[in-house]
Every structure is written in C-alpha cells, then in structure tokens.
Structure 1
Amino acid sequence: MDETSRERAHRAWRNAERIKRLSDNLIKLGPWGLGIDGVLAWVPAAGTIYSVGAGALLLYEGVKAGAAPWTLTRMAAYLLANTAMTEAPIVGWAMDTLFRAHLMAANALQKDIVARHGPVGATVDAPYWRPVTRPVQ
C-alpha cells in the first residue's frame, strides 16, 4: 500500500468528519443532531446550494480516497435524496431537517477508508495548529 494514498485517504476521513459535524451534528438532540444543512433547509436557495456544495465535497473526497464504486453510489443516492427534498416547501424542508444525508454519506466513506487503509491513528488526528509558546524571560 502506498503511504501517500494512505495519508490522502486518512485526510479524506478527517474532512468527512468535519463535513458531517457541520452539516448534521452541530447541536446534539438525543440521538439526533442539527447542523447547517437542517437550518438552511428552511431557506429555499441557500439550503439547496449548501446541500449540493457539501455533497459534492464529500464525493470529491471519496474519489480522492479511492473509495469503492458502490460506496460512491450510495453516497450519491443519499445526497440526491437530501437535495430533492428541499424542492417541496414546508414538508420537504422538515424532512430535509430530519434526514441526515451528509452524515450517512460521510459514514459510508469513512467505513470504506477504514476497510481499505486501516483506522485513522492518533498521530494522524493531531490538530493542524499549535499554540504559540514564548519562552519565559
């Protein structure tokens, strides 16, 4: 296994984690969560734009990670269903708020990455930034 492809796949795993948190898990409500996608579902054009953009980014990460075609197909199906719901006012918006497609697509991608490249290690999950420390004088 090429170390570069493993590194890229694990980066895709982390990006999928961020997208699912932002889209569907900013505020946890028991087993459910509410995120940007659920809130923007009630704003007609903004909800669709966000849903398509975040979904396209997830699919891009899946392609870059070398996900299986079946995984990419499942992800696309979840995301298309989510986007289609926003076309129906009120009922569709409510369904879109409750249907956590970005989370489901991200989970499918993450499972594929773990199966192909192994779990994301603690060293890979290190933060991208470090606080600046100045010597005590």
Structure 2
Amino acid sequence: MDVTRHRAHSAWINAERIKRLSDRLIGVGPIGIGLDGVLAWVPGANLIYSLGAGGLLIAEAVQVGASTATLARMGLYIASNSAMTGVPVLGWAMDTLFPGHLMAARALQKDIEARFGRPAEAPRSSRFGFRRPVAGV
C-alpha cells in the first residue's frame, strides 16, 4: 500500500478530532470528558457512538497502513471502552472516565509519526496539559 505523507497527516488530524470529541471536550490536565463520557449514561446511545467513533479510527488506521500491532492495540482499547456500557451504573461510570478513543487515537498517531513524522499543524502540549487548537477544529 502506497500512502502519501499528506494522507497520513490527514489521518493524524482526523484522529486528533475524534480524540478530542470523544474524550477531551472538557479537560484539565490528564482528566477529560467528551461525548463518550456524557453518552455513557444513555443506554444504547453510548454503544452506537463508541463503535462508530472507534470504527472511524480503525478505518483511518487501515487506510494509512498502520501496523498489525497498532490495529490490535486500537481494537483492544475500543472493545474495552464499548464493553463497559453493558454494565449499568458502575460500567457507565467507568466508561465516563476511561479514555478508550483517546488511547486508540494516540496509538494511531504514534504509528503515523514513526513512519511519516508529526504534521506541522499538530497541536503542541503545554506544561499545564492544555493544547493549542488544531486548524479547522
């Protein structure tokens, strides 16, 4: 599979958007909550969202030729995140705090960075954990 640097960086940016939307809409330091955490308390809706967002991340990974190990790790994070929704209250609370999409997105981003470098427009972390926005987000 011949993947261009531009396509790989586009996947990196898409992963960043999904990561933010799912697990970092509101965040302070290492703790954040996104749509996945809010929807954890809506039976059915969270599973649909979790699998949809996870499916988009996996599709991006496949399209840019991510390694088998990266795909397996991403699948494990997404499956774990989605499985929690089956346990009422305790599972929902755990899902609210478990950043499965964020971890899957980071795995994809690290894979892309190792092969294509970090995109120039990628956000940089500050020492307080806040990030400057990604262009277009």
User: Considering the TM-score relative to the shorter chain, is it more than 0.5?
Assistant: yes
User: Where does the alignment leave 5 or more consecutive residues of structure 2 unmatched?
Assistant: 123-132
Contact between 2:121 and 2:135, CA under 8 Å: does it hold in 1? no
Contact between 1:25 and 1:34, CA under 8 Å: does it hold in 2? yes
Q: Which residue of 2 aligns with 1:108?
A: 107
Contact between 1:62 and 1:109, CA under 8 Å: does it hold in 2? yes
Shift of 1:29: 3.3
Q: Which residue of 2 aligns with 1:55?
A: 54
Contact between 2:23 and 2:35, CA under 8 Å: does it hold in 1? yes
- TM alignment of 1:30-45, pairs within 5 A: 30-45=29-44
Shift of 1:66: 1.0
Q: Which residue of 2 aligns with 1:132?
A: none
Distance 1:83 1:48 in 2: 6
State the AA in 2 paired with 1:50: Y
Shift of 1:39: 0.2
Distance 1:118 1:27 in 2: 28
Q: Which residue of 2 aligns with 1:134?
A: none
Contact between 1:24 and 1:35, CA under 8 Å: does it hold in 2? yes
User: Where does the alignment leave 5 or more consecutive residues of structure 1 unmatched?
Assistant: 129-137
Q: Which residue of 2 aligns with 1:133?
A: none
Structure whose alpha-carbon radius of gyration is higher: 1
1:29 aligns with 2:50: no
- TM alignment of 1:1-137, pairs within 5 A: 5-122=4-121, 127=135
Residue aligned with 1:33, SS: strand
Contact between 1:10 and 1:113, CA under 8 Å: does it hold in 2? yes
Residue aligned with 2:5, SS: helix
Distance 2:134 2:47 in 1: 33
Shift of 1:126: 8.1
- Deviation per residue, 1:26-76 (Å, 9 max, x gap): 001332000000000000110000000000000000011111010000000
- Could you list the runs of 4 or more consecutive aligned residues of structure 1 that deviate by over 6 angstroms after TM superposition? none
**In percent, how many aligned pairs have the same letter?**
61
Distance 1:58 1:47 in 2: 16
Shift of 1:102: 0.2
Shift of 1:122: 3.7
Contact between 1:12 and 1:61, CA under 8 Å: does it hold in 2? yes
Scaled by the length of structure 1, the TM-score of the pair is 0.86
